[in-house]
């Protein structure tokens, strides 16, 4: 068997069809290599009991604990039977429950004093933590043969606890790992020998043995240090190669022109740019002046002036004879950008029109719902070069759209476009255009180095002068209903002082949504009783809340709604009237989350705030306090005071620092959402590395990777690294890296 093929061996050959099927379907493990890289989540020491007090709700857990007592209870007039077992470990207690015919075996085996491993999903019943029908394995079996086996397997050893699923317990996974462990000897080592020896790493086959079957805690540390490095290094080499390949592409250098559009624009600015904007603009201008495409990520706090920086870059490209395109994720945002950019540019945006500046250009909008005549004119302006700047949605990427000379693409709000879309855009330029990706979601440095690792990063962390502070408070609607009444009074006060307010809800509440429900079925959630647990009732809806407010707390004020299923003209009409001050209160979904800019809006009430993520709440909050008056953000929640959801809201209320919040968000969600299925549809390649904790490893691996790729871009002298890269970058993952 050659060195790679044993890792590629399908699991069903070694484990049998049934086990392999469960592993493939529920854990996404298909080959020997997949299983060897399915590392234990933690380790139990023989004889040491787990902290039952710390069990997470709704998660599949494995615990080692002792039976305190067990009793059979009858119900249904003696027709039903239930076995209740109480486990203890000194830190807390946990109840197990078995029903019906499932009670006989555990009743005989789970006797007081017995110790066992139990696996199941943690739930709460009658305010007590419980596992219903858990699977278990006795660690001190009464049967002599079993006892010997159990002792051999577990005595004096660190017990690996694997990420498991309902269909396959941790100890069954451990047995499967035993079957494939001999193949660890065939592991292909991706680290160059000089790097491995220089950093004193354990050889890879040893690291795999130590991580799965450690004899000591030092074994675990050794193995983890090595495996983390492999993951960080291989990923950083993939990204470094992508950056290197980009530097090999040709691009037209776009250098600033004296007395051009940019100078005319700067001259009419009513304020000076912040130091941060000046610094970031210089980084961008330096990139634009080179003959290979810029690939830069611009991250900036909500309201830090990213649009201004992007617009100045676009004007530079227009000055240099090219065109610039800005891609926005939604029509509302594309229209908003178009409106604010034409307002900022004034007569400079009216090139070729009566009253326009002779140095001006044309700024056009292109979205999917435009009328045919307007669309035809926009397409004509692009192909002739009449329009120097175009702002639009995905409609820009369509085949029909042709440019005279596309020089720069600005992508707003981290919707990083996939490889097909990037290629489609690239092909619209005579040469690949420069690329600037903007995001208002602050990204911790390590995530930027992994998720956005093929982009150079610029950060705007200074707010422009004139931006006001935002006060944020949690409103516990269930515990203190009078707080909610006070919230509506505060909204009324803001309006009486000449300002406006947003009310944000998680759901629209129209018939289409009700009919779709979850998974396309008719939604029945509406009928849930209001006194039920807040997680059980449907999220609050825009149309219902707007109706209630018009009739009740905000009667007499002008209350309008905005959501994604409205006709684009209606959306635009509402936004225009809100921006003009004709609407007092806008009740909306998260369509207002990015880019909406109404300086006179000072208050925001977010209903069911616990149903939104940390960074989303931070984005939403950034819609207020955009003028000279201070902002107010009220986070309304029915979540229990001690719940993680409330802790999350308190964190958002406690700081306006988006980078701090992004760390909190990442710690709570871990990497799953950042690097895993939520974004890519494929399992994350990071199994050992945690982006939040391993900043030093990632930074060091990035440095080494850059050096390796600079010295040997094709990795001709590192065949093992090339082999491992090829395995990591199968088609799905390659695409995933492209999409970020």
Distance in angstroms (rounded) separating the CA atoms of residues 260 and 163: 60
Residue carrying the six token digits 């803001």? 494
Three-state DSSP state, 67: strand
pTM of the model: 0.65
pLDDT score for 686: 63
Residues of the chain with pLDDT under 70: 1-5, 45-51, 140-157, 302-303, 352-357, 413-423, 441-442, 446, 451-452, 463-467, 511-536, 593-595, 666-687, 690-693, 728-740
Q: What per-residue confidence (pLDDT) applies to 143?
A: 53
Q: Which of 213, 68, 54, 50 is nearest to 118 (CA)?
A: 50
Q: Is 361 helix (H, G, I), strand (E, B) or coil?
A: coil
Kindly state the tokens that stand for 52: 């039952």
E strand or H helix that includes residue 64: strand 60-75
CB neighbours of residue 297 within 10 Å: 24
pLDDT tens sequence across 43-63: 876 555 556 777 777 777 778
The Cα 684–Cα 674 span in angstroms is 9
**Residue 629 region by backbone torsions, left for phi larger than 0, else alpha for psi between -120 and 50, else beta:** beta
* pLDDT recorded at residue 407: 94
* 116 token code pair: 């066992």
Decide: 450 and 424 in contact? Cβ < 8 Å. no
What sign results for the dihedral spanned by CA atoms 184, 185, 187, 192?
A: positive
- What is the Cα–Cα distance from 378 to 530, expressed in whole angstroms? 51
Q: What is the DSSP letter of 630?
A: P
Q: Residue 561 gets which letter from DSSP?
A: E
pLDDT at residue 283, as a whole number: 95
Residue recorded with tokens 């930074």? 699
Contact assessment for residue 296 and residue 437, using Cβ atoms and an 8 Å cutoff: yes
């Amino acid at each position: 068997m050659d060195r790679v093929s044993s890792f590629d061996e399908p699991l069903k050959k070694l484990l049998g069809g049934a086990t392999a099927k469960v592993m493939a379907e529920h854990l996404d493990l298909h080959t020997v290599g997949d299983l060897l890289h399915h590392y234990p989540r933690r380790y139990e020491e023989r004889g040491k009991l787990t902290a039952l007090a710390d069990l997470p709700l709704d998660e599949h857990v494995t615990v080692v604990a002792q039976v305190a007592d067990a009793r059979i209870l009858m119900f249904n007039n003696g027709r039903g039977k239930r076995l209740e077992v109480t486990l203890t470990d000194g830190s807390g207690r946990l109840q197990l429950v078995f029903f019906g015919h499932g009670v006989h075996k555990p009743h005989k085996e789970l006797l007081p004093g017995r110790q066992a491993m139990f696996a199941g999903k943690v739930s709460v019943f009658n305010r007590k933590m419980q596992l219903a029908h858990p699977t278990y394995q006795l660690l001190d079996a009464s049967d002599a043969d079993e006892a010997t086996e159990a002792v051999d397997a577990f005595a004096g050893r660190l017990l690996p606890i694997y990420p498991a699923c309902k269909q396959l317990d941790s100890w069954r996974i451990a047995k499967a790992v035993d079957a494939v462990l001999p193949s660890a000897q065939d592991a292909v080592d991706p680290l160059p020998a000089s790097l491995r020896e220089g950093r004193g790493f354990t050889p890879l086959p040893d690291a795999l043995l130590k991580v799965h079957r450690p004899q000591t805690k030092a074994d675990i540390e050794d193995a983890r240090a090595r495996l983390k490095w492999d993951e960080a290094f291989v990923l950083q080499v993939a990204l470094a190669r992508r950056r290197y390949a980009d530097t090999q592409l040709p691009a037209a250098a776009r250098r600033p022109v004296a007395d051009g559009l940019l100078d005319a624009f700067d001259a009419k600015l009513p304020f000076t740019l912040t130091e941060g904007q000046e610094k970031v603009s210089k980084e961008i201008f330096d990139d634009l002046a080179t003959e290979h495409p810029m690939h830069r990520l611009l991250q900036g706090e909500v309201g830090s002036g990213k649009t201004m920086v992007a617009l100045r870059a676009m004007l530079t490209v227009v000055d240099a004879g090219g065109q610039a395109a800005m891609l926005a994720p939604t029509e509302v945002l594309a229209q908003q950008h178009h409106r604010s950019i034409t307002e900022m540019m004034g007569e400079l945006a009216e090139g070729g029109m009566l009253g326009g500046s002779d140095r001006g250009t044309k700024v056009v909008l292109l979205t999917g719902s435009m009328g045919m005549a307007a669309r035809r004119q926009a397409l004509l302006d692009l192909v002739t070069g009449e329009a120097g700047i175009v702002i639009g949605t995905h409609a820009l990427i369509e085949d029909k759209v042709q440019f005279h000379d596309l020089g720069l693409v600005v992508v707003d709000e981290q919707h990083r476009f996939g490889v097909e879309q990037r290629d489609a855009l690239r092909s619209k330029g005579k040469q690949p255009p420069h690329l600037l990706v903007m995001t208002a979601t602050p990204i911790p440095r390590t995530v930027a180095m992994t998720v956005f690792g093929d982009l150079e990063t610029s950060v705007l962390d200074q707010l422009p002068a004139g931006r006001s502070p935002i006060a944020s408070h949690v409103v516990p609607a269930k515990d203190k209903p009078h707080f909610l009444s006070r919230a509506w009074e505060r909204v009324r006060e803001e309006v009486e002082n000449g300002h406006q307010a947003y009310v944000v809800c998680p759901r629209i509440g129209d018939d289409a949504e009700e009919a779709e429900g979850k998974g396309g079925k008719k939604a029945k959630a509406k009928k849930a009783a209001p006194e039920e647990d807040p997680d059980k009732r449907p999220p609050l809806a825009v149309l219902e809340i707007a109706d209630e407010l018009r009739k009740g707390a905000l009667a007499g004020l002008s209350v309008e709604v905005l959501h994604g299923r409205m006709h684009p003209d209606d959306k635009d009409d509402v936004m225009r009237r809100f921006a003009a001050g004709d609407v007092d209160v806008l009740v909306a979904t998260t369509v207002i989350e990015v880019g909406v800019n109404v300086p006179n809006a000072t208050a925001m009430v977010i209903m069911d705030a616990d149903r939104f993520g940390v960074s989303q709440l931070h984005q939403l909050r950034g819609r207020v306090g955009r003028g000279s008056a201070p902002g107010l953000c009220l986070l309304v929640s029915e979540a229990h005071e001690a719940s993680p959801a409330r802790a999350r809201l308190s964190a958002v209320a406690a700081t306006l620092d988006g980078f701090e919040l992004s760390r909190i968000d990442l710690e709570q969600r871990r990497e799953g959402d950042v690097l895993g299925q939520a974004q890519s549809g494929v399992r994350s390649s990071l199994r050992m590395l945690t982006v939040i904790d391993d900043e030093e490893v990632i930074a060091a691996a990035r440095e080494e990777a850059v050096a390796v790729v600079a010295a040997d871009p094709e990795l001709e002298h590192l065949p093992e690294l090339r082999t491992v890269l090829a395995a990591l970058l199968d088609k799905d993952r390659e695409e995933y890296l492209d999409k970020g």
